[in-house]
A and B are shown apart, each in its own frame.
Chain A
């Protein structure tokens, strides 16, 4: 066992340290705790991003906003907007409620609440066209309004991202297809940040791996086609995993169809169609099921921990007011507030994105150093604020007054994050957290998992949340190729007894998703020695060794490897990306040389998986690297015209979801690769171990209470 954390060394040290720091900080605002602040992941290259990369995020945001507003405008006069829950959040990402109001939206209703009334003649529905049951609800509500109101309603349905044949059939069946205006709102990528494009498909994980519904692959392909139409074809598509392969095939297919559809003049065939992009290097697709293990671990970056404990949705977190206090002044609380959330209860929405400077500094840092950063900021603020006493001339004074609002904003943000960090620390200090982290890290490190069983059993008896228990079981199953059938039976019985027999369904679902399986004789040989065996399972044992997933000596404060995000464990998913982008680094890691030295010379010339084919085979699913060729002459002409742009974009698509921790790791790589490369992270949705479990957990229960 490489890391033995019965004392939770990896983590607890750090938290305790920063914990005391926090305490001191609360006692007095300024505090002489000076630390070198590692700025690599945070601001290092943010300016460059904004200039060039911003275009993608901004482009998709603007387009979505324009499309929606144009549709709204087409319905004259005031209207009520009925929107499905899953779209309400994403819409808030690109348009504020006040803007909707300008476009005649009087009130917003949630489809699921079924409380739309006749207060406006015009009623606009916004739902996903792929969701037949949502369309059915829409049909019901329209019929209800038609029947009971004395108002002659005018109905519109906007289907995002497309109108489907099935929804047509549903509306036809309901007999209302002739009574509604139908339009499409092509909503694909939604930018969460300048470097993150998400499809925000909350259910994509369950759809893909539980229901085996490939709808979101098609959706993703369409979205990526949008990127290609903007920049030209990805010159190369590299990927890992069966679904990833499917996505790549769809992309190739769609390109062919587009070429066929493209019907420009007959004069010059070479001018027709898109060319391989000159500004994009490649697209890397990682199927989530290649690396379930990483996502099951508890995330240890600041943003990751917030997501674990509070939950972040569409860049917002609902935090108890008892933790962060009530909303400060209304003007600073900017976010798209839909009037539906009028429940001014105990929760407060906190906007978590790059607009909060302090958060940008904290988000990707290991939680262990968050306290230090907070300290430093507190001290700086205090100093700056104190400068008012030294202000002698009126000019200096005016300067100070002008900066006052900024201070106040920063202060607020500091207070919020200090409180939040403290709350998280409270949770991370609990015994159950420590125990489950211990189990996780032993599994990650490849220790014999049967030693952990007792701890897991204890956690079950202590009634920790079901998700936590299941994550541990799934983690073990993923990391060591399944549980021994006897152990699995035993756990099944215990979990079912502890949390209810409905979870028989949960287990069945987890097995279907291949998250929790009995170890079959075929998989028992998943030992570090048996390497290249293109498998149906990811062989963590082999990869741990050959890709150096476990790095003990990583520093959380001043990291030199992505493994800092899990305090010593490098996410396999991101290691795979490194196999494509940072070959020399990985090679030197494996050989045990000085990794830092080889980084700068990392001018990779070998494309795709070259050099790592054998290693990568040990991860589950298809491995591929496809070159999209264009007409040579045209490509060369383009190159001479535009010149080889210095910065090339790499699109990394996580099919099935990405965790905030993996995002942090990718940003770490991006910072190293700048300015030669910029990395744009695309995903179907943001995921966490809990969300993975939620997809499987049966919500019903025999209890009558609900």
Chain B
């Protein structure tokens, strides 16, 4: 192939060069009259959607063309699919980064077509769109802004979970043009809109509409550069201004000398603006330098971040700024090292010694020359020049002693991939920069959307990236189109995908189910290793029981709860209970959830399951939450009735105690009424009631209650002791001391009273603790401060040592007393 001139189609604008590369030709059929169509192209060389512009006159030909359609083509003019459009007038047509087509109709309905084959989801913009109607829409990589006819703006920032939100209200007036700044390029990280109203421009975000105070409007066009740093304004006088994004500095002005405003104003990279009229294009660079292109027919401009695609009936061209490296090599008269290196390849082929001379001349900068050649190869579209440049790089690096060839190898890989993509049959004219941004994974997705499975698999193998999505998509497609019976399809798919990692059979099953082949779906689901993934689909398929089992199997409580929630609302109560009955985890979760929210369900459940204690306990809980005594006793009564049928001892006891609870409440209520001026008894425990009665001096009543409720004697004694001590009722305690026997012994009396600080009374109980060893009693006496008594105790047990010890502690008369005892004990001499 004869080498094309690398400088062909270079155009110098200001200081830099732009070049227009013809990527494909003969793309649209003759009968597609592009001038009557509105076109929107997906970024990264993606698909192009066109539909008939209704404002243009129709030529009535046949019924076919009168039906409104949206047609999706590749950049090389291959038709990918056709969408019949029977909804309201289209007011916005745009693409997301993931090549999803968004169609916004006048009534505010947004349809998101994914996968390029007509499947869609839809949502409504709301917020008064039905009333006012959508006037226009603008899109960015992952969202859109709609302008209503009342100048209201609605933004949607992600399509997976669309949340249409009104932006700040903006002023009345005629909107002559508008543009949006994507969230990634604003300070606030949320979308902002530039609205040209009357003579000025407003910057609108979610909170306010700020007037930029310009006087030169109305602006017929407004456009923001890909980096968001510059704004292009087209005035009514036919002038193009480029200003900073804060409207403070004006960088350049260009007079188009056209009274008719261009149909579109777009940026070509970040340095140049494209003005497009029907068949004429002005490329305006910095400082108003410009170049003009003329066409035979209507030309559509599709912006990319690094240039624009120009689509006409005949060609698809890519217009972009010549990369620095390319310019360095090919610019006329360039003597850069890289340029010299490229030249050496020629010399080498001619077997000229100049090749070596060249190398020696650029020796010092050879590494960077090699790098430059590699990079420049990436920017070339023509494989001849790609090869030349790589050859030069290869030659250069062979001379170098140490050179890391990774970049070289990677570049060859990338170029291979790019070449495959740019083939007109595929029609993805990606530039090198676009490929980097799109990423290999994004690329695979696009190929899948085009059903180019083989190429996708080859590329994923070549680049070693996951291929599971490709297989799943293939299988889903197979499920949709194949007409053979379910078994055969399932077998085919399983056979093909066997031993491939990461295959989501759930997704394939979903596709089968969506096609109405639920038997096939169930079969496919069995191959899904992730149990949790199967559940939602199984629910959809009304395979309730299976869904519940799979959810339980997964161990994920959330999944089980979700299934239960679903089943509870769907099934009659009896069958719901039947279903959970045999599954302990399910019934446990139902019980737990119901305890908080649905007590009645709980009662039914326990009744159905014949669990009287559980049932009674629900009532008991209810009684506890109630504050009204009658209600409380009613509930307790009900609970007790529930339990009365059983003869089982635990149930009998439970029943007894429940009745006791209501009996206690009744007694306490009576107490409250009788002793109105005293603290409330209602709701206290039995022990507490008795304790308070004793403390309040109602010993008789306390005793009555003790016998009524069969309170153990010991307990009663303890309560009385503690209450009397708390009351400081020493007299009563002294009375008790006269009793012969205490069921709790006398030690507690001594301890409690001593603890309360009454040593005198405490000491009364010391002799009553007759069962204790004398040493302890001595200690007890001591604690009461009664040394003499302690001494007597010691004397009784003939404990001389202790007495000696006591003597050291004693003083005054006590000391002599002890002395006396010692003397008594001492063996007579």
Q: Which of B189, B501, B558 contacts A260 (CB 8 A)?
A: B501
A266 within 8 Å of B by Cβ? Answer: yes
Q: Which of A265, A489, A701 contacts B653 (CB 8 A)?
A: A489
Q: Determine the distance from Cα of A602 to Cα of B176 in the docked complex, in whole angstroms.
A: 86
Q: Is the CB of A212 within 8 A of B588?
A: yes
B592 within 8 Å of A by Cβ? Answer: yes
Q: Is the CB of B714 within 8 A of A498?
A: no
Flag A478-515 by CB within 8 Å of B: 1 or 0 each. 00000001000100111011111110110010000000
Point out the residues of chain A lying under 8 angstroms from B466, CB to CB: 263-265
Q: Is the CB of B624 within 8 A of A263?
A: no
- Of the listed residues A164, A166, A262, A489, the one surrounded by the most CB atoms of chain B closer than 10 A to its CB is A166
A232 within 8 Å of B by Cβ? Answer: no
Q: Is the CB of A501 within 8 A of B664?
A: yes
A386 within 8 Å of B by Cβ? Answer: no
Stretch of B510-518, B678-686, B801-809 that contacts chain A: B678-686
* Size class of the contact patch on chain A: 35 or more
Chain A nearest Cβ from B731, distance in angstroms:
23
Point out the residues of chain B lying under 8 angstroms from A698, CB to CB: 621, 624
B4 within 8 Å of A by Cβ? Answer: no
Point out the residues of chain A lying under 8 angstroms from B503, CB to CB: 260
A87 within 8 Å of B by Cβ? Answer: no
A178 within 8 Å of B by Cβ? Answer: yes
Q: Is the CB of B719 within 8 A of A502?
A: no
B718 within 8 Å of A by Cβ? Answer: yes
Q: Is the CB of B555 within 8 A of A498?
A: no
Q: Which of A269, A498, A504 contacts B617 (CB 8 A)?
A: A504
B439 within 8 Å of A by Cβ? Answer: no
Given contacts A76-B189, A265-B464, A497-B685, contact A457 B661 (CB under 8 A): no
Chain B nearest Cβ from A542, distance in angstroms:
28
Given contacts A214-B585, A463-B687, contact A702 B709 (CB under 8 A): no
Q: Determine the distance from Cα of A383 to Cα of B497 in the docked complex, in whole angstroms.
A: 77
B502 within 8 Å of A by Cβ? Answer: yes
Q: Is the CB of A169 within 8 A of B624?
A: no
Point out the residues of chain A lying under 8 angstroms from B722, CB to CB: 462-463
Stretch of B298-306, B407-415, B422-430, B559-567 that contacts chain A: B559-567
Q: Determine the distance from Cα of A498 to Cα of B625 in the docked complex, in whole angstroms.
A: 20
Q: Is the CB of A212 within 8 A of B557?
A: no
Q: Determine the distance from Cα of A261 to Cα of B506 in the docked complex, in whole angstroms.
A: 12
Q: Is the CB of A164 within 8 A of B558?
A: yes
Q: Determine the distance from Cα of A614 to Cα of B613 in the docked complex, in whole angstroms.
A: 38
Of chain A, the residue at the smallest CB distance from B566 is A169
Query: Interface on chain A toward B: helix, strand, loop, or mixed SS?
Result: helix
Given contacts A76-B190, A215-B557, A257-B529, contact A702 B588 (CB under 8 A): no
B-facing residues in A314-336 (Cβ within 8 Å): none
A143 within 8 Å of B by Cβ? Answer: no
Q: Determine the distance from Cα of A401 to Cα of B556 in the docked complex, in whole angstroms.
A: 59
Given contacts A431-B751, A508-B613, A702-B661, contact A218 B682 (CB under 8 A): no
Q: Is the CB of B682 within 8 A of A460?
A: no
B572 within 8 Å of A by Cβ? Answer: no
Point out the residues of chain B lying under 8 angstroms from A262, CB to CB: 501-502
B712 within 8 Å of A by Cβ? Answer: yes
Q: Which of B162, B530, B714 contacts A457 (CB 8 A)?
A: B714
B-facing residues in A386-424 (Cβ within 8 Å): none
Flag A449-474 by CB within 8 Å of B: 1 or 0 each. 00000000110111100000000000
Q: Determine the distance from Cα of A628 to Cα of B613 in the docked complex, in whole angstroms.
A: 45
Q: Is the CB of A265 within 8 A of B718?
A: no
Of chain B, the residue at the smallest CB distance from A462 is B718
B111 within 8 Å of A by Cβ? Answer: no
Q: Is the CB of A166 within 8 A of B627?
A: no
Given contacts A700-B621, A703-B684, A704-B682, contact A260 B465 (CB under 8 A): no
Q: Is the CB of B558 within 8 A of A130?
A: yes
B480 within 8 Å of A by Cβ? Answer: no
Of chain A, the residue at the smallest CB distance from B189 is A76
A-facing residues in B21-57 (Cβ within 8 Å): none
Given contacts A214-B585, A259-B501, A485-B649, contact A702 B555 (CB under 8 A): no
Q: Is the CB of A704 within 8 A of B683?
A: yes
Q: Is the CB of A272 within 8 A of B555?
A: no
A312 within 8 Å of B by Cβ? Answer: no
Q: Is the CB of A504 within 8 A of B658?
A: yes
Q: Is the CB of B557 within 8 A of A505?
A: no
A211 within 8 Å of B by Cβ? Answer: yes
Q: Determine the distance from Cα of A500 to Cα of B620 in the docked complex, in whole angstroms.
A: 12
Q: Is the CB of B624 within 8 A of A497?
A: no
Q: Is the CB of B501 within 8 A of A496?
A: no
A632 within 8 Å of B by Cβ? Answer: no
B654 within 8 Å of A by Cβ? Answer: yes
B-facing residues in A216-230 (Cβ within 8 Å): 217-218, 221
Chain B nearest Cβ from A206, distance in angstroms:
10
Q: Is the CB of B687 within 8 A of A461?
A: yes
Of chain B, the residue at the smallest CB distance from A698 is B624
B248 within 8 Å of A by Cβ? Answer: no
Q: Determine the distance from Cα of A179 to Cα of B166 in the docked complex, in whole angstroms.
A: 12
Point out the residues of chain B lying under 8 angstroms from A702, CB to CB: 623-624, 632, 661, 665, 682-683
B756 within 8 Å of A by Cβ? Answer: no
Q: Is the CB of A492 within 8 A of B653?
A: yes
Q: Determine the distance from Cα of A129 to Cα of B558 in the docked complex, in whole angstroms.
A: 9
Chain B nearest Cβ from A432, distance in angstroms:
11
Q: Is the CB of B686 within 8 A of A498?
A: yes
- Of the listed residues B501, B596, B620, B717, the one surrounded by the most CB atoms of chain A closer than 10 A to its CB is B501
A26 within 8 Å of B by Cβ? Answer: no
Given contacts A262-B501, A457-B715, A700-B624, contact A76 B683 (CB under 8 A): no
A522 within 8 Å of B by Cβ? Answer: no
Point out the residues of chain B lying under 8 angstroms from A508, CB to CB: 613-614, 617, 654
Q: Is the CB of A498 within 8 A of B687?
A: yes
Q: Is the CB of B657 within 8 A of A166?
A: no
Chain B nearest Cβ from A396, distance in angstroms:
49
Q: Determine the distance from Cα of A213 to Cα of B588 in the docked complex, in whole angstroms.
A: 6
Q: Determine the distance from Cα of A262 to Cα of B467 in the docked complex, in whole angstroms.
A: 11
Q: Which of A165, A497, A502 contacts B558 (CB 8 A)?
A: A165
B827 within 8 Å of A by Cβ? Answer: no
B711 within 8 Å of A by Cβ? Answer: yes
Q: Which of A133, A169, A214, A260 contacts B557 (CB 8 A)?
A: A214
Flag B460-500 by CB within 8 Å of A: 1 or 0 each. 11001111100000000000000000000000000000001
Q: Is the CB of B715 within 8 A of A461?
A: yes
Point out the residues of chain A lying under 8 angstroms from B554, CB to CB: 253
Q: Is the CB of A505 within 8 A of B592?
A: no
A63 within 8 Å of B by Cβ? Answer: no
Point out the residues of chain A lying under 8 angstroms from B744, CB to CB: 458, 461
Given contacts A263-B501, A501-B657, A704-B627, contact A132 B617 (CB under 8 A): no
Flag B560-579 by CB within 8 Å of A: 1 or 0 each. 01100100000000000000
A638 within 8 Å of B by Cβ? Answer: no
Given contacts A178-B163, A460-B715, contact A260 B685 (CB under 8 A): no
Point out the residues of chain B lying under 8 angstroms from A494, CB to CB: 712, 715
Q: Determine the distance from Cα of A246 to Cα of B465 in the docked complex, in whole angstroms.
A: 35
A646 within 8 Å of B by Cβ? Answer: no
Point out the residues of chain A lying under 8 angstroms from B751, CB to CB: 431
Point out the residues of chain B lying under 8 angstroms from A250, CB to CB: 555
Of chain A, the residue at the smallest CB distance from B711 is A497
Point out the residues of chain B lying under 8 angstroms from A130, CB to CB: 557-558
Q: Is the CB of B714 within 8 A of A461?
A: yes
Q: Is the CB of B650 within 8 A of A505?
A: no
- Of the listed residues B468, B557, B592, B620, the one surrounded by the most CB atoms of chain A closer than 10 A to its CB is B557
22 contacts between A and B (CB under 8 A): A132-B593, A164-B558, A165-B559, A165-B561, A178-B163, A211-B591, A212-B585, A214-B585, A218-B557, A221-B555, A257-B531, A263-B467, A461-B714, A461-B715, A461-B717, A496-B657, A496-B686, A504-B654, A508-B654, A702-B623, A704-B680, A704-B682
Given known contacts A494-B715, A496-B686, what 6 new A-B pairs fall within 8 Å (CB)? A129-B558, A250-B555, A259-B501, A266-B464, A463-B691, A505-B617
Cβ-closest 4 pairs across A and B: A263-B502, A703-B683, A265-B464, A501-B661
